[in-house]
Amino acid sequence: MRRSRGFEAIRGHAHLFERPGDEPPSFWTEALGDPPEVYRERIQHVGERAVRRWDPGRSKLGAGLAKGWSEPLPVDGERWLYLGAGTGTTPSHVADLVGPTGRVYALERSVRPFARLRQLAGRYPNLLPILADARRPMEYCGLVPPVDGVYADVAQPDQVAIALDNARLFLRGSGSFLLALKTASMGRDREPRQHLAAAVEQLEGIELERPIDLAPYHRRHYLMGGRPTRALFREPAAAPSRRPTDPAPRARRRS
C-alpha cells in the first residue's frame, strides 16, 4: 500500500483508499464529480485530491468492502454496465473507481430515481444514465458496448437471471461480475442461505469468490461475484427474463 497523508491507496486501485486505524475499516474513493458530495457522505481533502467516504450503510458494494470483499472490483479505465442504478449512490463510487477514462453505463427503469441520476451525470462525465428495463437488453444494446464489468443491484425475484442475461450479452470474456443479492426479493418461503445456495447454483457460468453476507449493513443481502467462464456464454436452455423474440445473445456477441 502507498501512504498518502493518513490514507492508504489500495494496491491495484488508483482511486480507492483506506484510512488505517478506522474500526470498522473505512473506504474512500477519489472524487471525480464536481462538487464532490453526492449523498451527504463525508469528504476529506488529501493535498489536491478530494476523497469521499463510501458509506457501507448506503451502498451494498461499500458494505462488501467493509466486510472484506476485495476482488473483483471496478478499476481505473474500465467500462462497467450497472443494472439498477437508483439515484446514483453506488454508481458515483463506481464512477470514481473507473476514473476519467472509464465509463459507467448506469441503467435505471424508474423515472423518479432516473431524474436524479441524470442530474448526477451532469457532474460525472464518465457516468452515462440509461432509462431502460434490465430485462430487455435488446432495447439498449445499441447504447452499451462490450464492458469489463457487470454489476447488478435490481432487487427482483429473477435478479440472478437478469444479471446473467446482461453478462452474456455485454461482458468481455475476461471481465468481472458482481451481484448484490437481495434474498428478500426471492420470497420469504426460504431462508436467506437457501436462496444464496440457489443463486450459487444458477451462477455456474461464473467462477465465484466466496459470497459476503452484508449484515448488519444490509440484512438478508449478499455480495457475490467473480469471473466468467466459457460456460456463461453457452446458450442456456431457458432464460426466463429474455423475451422469446429477442435474438440469441451468443449470436450478437459474434457480430
Summarize as ranges the residues that interact with ligand SAM (CB under 6 A).
59-60, 83-86, 89-90, 107-110, 113, 133-135, 153-156
- First vs last C-alpha separation in the chain: 42
Write the CB contacts of 57 (distance below 8 Å, at least 6 apart in sequence).
Answer: 63, 217
| 26 vs 241 by CB, closer to ligand SAM | 241
Three-class SS state of 7: strand
| Residue given cell 431524474 in the structure block | 115
How far are the Cα atoms of 8, 128, 155, 205 from residue 24, in angstroms, in the given order? 15, 33, 26, 33
Three-class SS state of 115: helix
DSSP state for residue 43 in the 8-state scheme: E
CB of 33 to ligand SAM, least distance (A): 14
CB of 205 to ligand SAM, least distance (A): 20
CB of 62 to ligand SAM, least distance (A): 8
Residue nearest ligand SAM, Cβ-based: 84
| 86 vs 226 by CB, closer to ligand SAM | 86
CB of 132 to ligand SAM, least distance (A): 7
| 96 vs 153 by CB, closer to ligand SAM | 153
